[in-house]
Amino acid sequence: MKIEVLEKDEINLRLAIKDASVPLINALRRIALAEVPTMAIDEIVMIENSSILQDEMIAHRLGLTPLKTDLDTYNLPEECECQSEFGCNLCRVTLTLEAESNEGTRPVYSGELISENPSIIPVSDKVPILKLAKGQKLKLEAYARLGKGKNHAKWQPVSLCAYKYYPKIEVPIKECKDCTKCVDICPKKVYIMKENKVEIRDLLACNLCMDCVEACPEKPPLIKVEWEKNALIMNIESTGALPPERIIQEATKILDKQLKEFEQHLKVEAK
């Protein structure tokens, strides 16, 4: 398997994977979505709420606010040594929010949450939680914990984790006659006209929609769109809770652990 990093920043990771096994990449994709843990607010103690939004709505909005996650320090509550329903400082983080409007209506943003651990804070401090009118007050304590996307989407570390086949396009060289139909119709702007010739501008943008093939006036179409066998382009877009490369690394660790567990069970059963 050959992996090439096409794009990488704090949130996005785009990989070209050649000689890939599609089921393996799909397993990693599903684990990234459902099993890699992240931190999210799970419980709230409402001390005062005179806003027009019900406590449950505020709790729901806070739960869905992505938090920066530290997987090296914190444990999943079910795997933590404390085994306490209230959690300990290795499986729970307390955040507080106290907001009041003295003049006019004002929004309350995620940035107003104060965390006991400065490294577990909202990914963005611009997530609007609610609006307070003059004289309204909100005071609460929120408890965040690690969890998995398969139990609730708020624990999903990725907003997108998908792959597509690696496109393979053959553009006609001679036969084409002053026609720009394929260039015009492509929604991803894969083609470009250069000196009356169709050329490929961005091969990897192709999503194999086949619009260009259908638009070609010649029968059979002169343009040929296919995909490479066992080559994929994978996109991972993090919610910001974890760096995208860490999400994939964790997914491989989890898959490895699951396979070892399976092997162990097999040994016991076979005895």
Residues that bind Zn ion (CB under 5 A): 80, 82, 88, 90-91
Instruction: Indicate the residue among 29 and 92 with the shorter CB distance to Zn ion.
Output: 92
C-beta of 80 vs 176, nearer to Zn ion: 80
In whole angstroms, the minimum distance from the beta carbon of 115 to Zn ion comes to: 17
Q: Given the structure tokens 């002169």, which residue do they identify?
A: 222
Helix (H, G, I), strand (E, B) or coil at 138: strand
Closest CA to 210 of 200, 199, 224: 224
Task: Evaluate whether 127 touches 190 at the Cβ level (below 8 Å).
Answer: no
- Closest to Zn ion by CB, 73 vs 249, is 73
Question: How far is 193 from 195, CA to CA, in rounded Å?
Answer: 7
Residue 128, judged by CB atoms within 10 A of its CB (0-12, 13-18, 19+), counts as exposed
Q: Which residue has the tokens 């001390």?
A: 47
Q: Which is nearer to Zn ion, 64 or 71 (CB)?
A: 71
CB of 151 to Zn ion, least distance (A): 18
State in angstroms the smallest separation of the CB of 142 from Zn ion. Answer: 17
Confirm if 91 and 77 have CB atoms less than 8 A apart: yes
Least CB distance to Zn ion at residue 45 (A)? 18
Question: Which residue lies nearer to Zn ion by CB, 21 or 84?
Answer: 84
R_g of the chain, CA atoms, integer Å? 25
Shortest spacing between CB 90 and Zn ion, in angstroms: 5
Q: Which is nearer to Zn ion, 146 or 222 (CB)?
A: 146
- Least CB distance to Zn ion at residue 147 (A): 14
**Residues 250/71, Cβ–Cβ less than 8 Å:** yes
Q: How far is the CB of 92 from Zn ion (least distance, A)?
A: 7
The angle subtended at Cα 200 by Cα 196 and Cα 206, nearest 5°, is: 135
Measured CA distances, 191 to 182, 187, 210, 228 (Å)? 8, 10, 13, 19
Q: Are 211 and 184 in contact (CB under 8 A)?
A: no
The smaller minimum CB distance to Zn ion, of residues 44 and 93, is found at 93
Contact 233, 29 (CB under 8 A): no
